[in-house]
Chains A and B, each alone.
Chain A
Amino acid sequence: MTLAATAAHLATGPATGAAAGPHGFLSPTGVEIAFLLVGLVTFGAALVTVTTRQLVHAALWLVVTLGGLAVEYLLLTAEFIAWVQVLIYVGSVVVLLLFGLMLTRAPIGRSPDADSGNRWAALTVAVAAAAALVWVVVDAFRTTWIDLDGPAAGSTEATGASLFQNWVLPFEALSVLLLAALVGAIVLSRKAKADTATPAGQDTGRDTEGAR
């Protein structure tokens, strides 16, 4: 009697738990299935990025990861962020990384010393952090539901209006930061060869700085 009662309670327990929110995990919507599949591809590409021994392949798998994240932004109706992600990350950051790999004369084939000796410690830390974070996040947001119907929350109009109504001062400060980063990168890459550069080279460097 009591055993049957506990069995019935156990059987109805998860159902009532899922029914606390109107949506359960066992009947995913189409958006959720698409998010899950793209998320698996993104996570797999990220794993290959941090584990492959071919340096150029790591950069190319990073493209897959960032593109998958752009698709996730689109599925979350944040279309402006998605296109910014494609433009800046896939368009410029990965190209910069590839330039960096080639300028530091990275080996094309397999490089056996791509991973350092503390790989197992790093794996332990990462797995422990992942377990803790996933546990906490799932426990906290198990029943939280994002309503994706209606007008898009991240359309260009909404993002632009909020950015230029409420976030103008940080936006302008960010432009100053970008300028500082630009000048800093120029100075850093110019100073290293200052001892061998001719005065003409220094002058042209200064001219480009003035032009910017």
Chain B
Amino acid sequence: MHLAYPAVLSALLFCTGLYGVLARRNAILVLMSVELMLNAVNLNLVAFDVWLSRTAEETLHSGQALTLFTIAIAAAEIGIGLAIVLAVHRNRGTADIDKLRDTSERHDPDGTDHDARTAEQSDEAQKAEATA
């Protein structure tokens, strides 16, 4: 098989994921697009590992080992990411990343107000946890 086929497919998948990350508005759809990008990298790693294990006679199988590590790290990432998205949804009532503008340069009054309020809440939560 030509190495160009998996390489081109992984490049196209990566750019599809890039478009999704940039254009999507829901945080969970952004996470899906990140998964697409990680999978494109995995396909690249596997293809180059299969090629090198034949032509260069290397027996380290670094591509496949790194693919397994990437899959495990992606699983951890999706767990943490979903926990963060759920926490944000619980606090703000939305998972829309266009509305989470508390750290943006433009200052709108209700945004800073909301930010201060949530900071206060998290302080209280920390105090409650410390006393418990």
Contact = CB atoms under 8 A, between A and B. Distances in A.
Nearest to B38: A89
Contacts of A129: 14-15, 18
Nearest to B5: A35
A119 B25 CA distance: 10
Contact of A122 (B19, B59, B129): B19
20 contacts: A25-B2, A31-B1, A49-B20, A62-B35, A65-B36, A84-B68, A96-B79, A118-B23, A121-B22, A126-B19, A145-B3, A146-B3, A153-B49, A153-B50, A162-B60, A162-B65, A166-B61, A174-B72, A192-B90, A194-B125
Main secondary structure on chain B at its contact with chain A?
A: helix
B119 to A, nearest CB: 13
B125 A144 contact: no
Contacts of A142: 2, 4
Given A50-B16, A195-B124, A39 B9 contact: yes
Interface string A150-191: 100110001100110011001000100110011011001101
Interface string A114-143: 111111011101110110011001100110
B116 interface: no
Contacts of B77: 181
B29 A58 contact: yes
A76 B72 contact: no
Main secondary structure on chain A at its contact with chain B?
A: helix
B36 A49 contact: yes
The 3 closest A-B pairs by CB, nearest first: A122-B22, A50-B20, A181-B76
Nearest to A206: B132
A108 interface: no
Contact of B19 (A50, A84, A202): A50
Given A46-B13, A142-B4, A202 B72 contact: no
Given A93-B75, A96-B78, A137-B8, A188 B50 contact: no
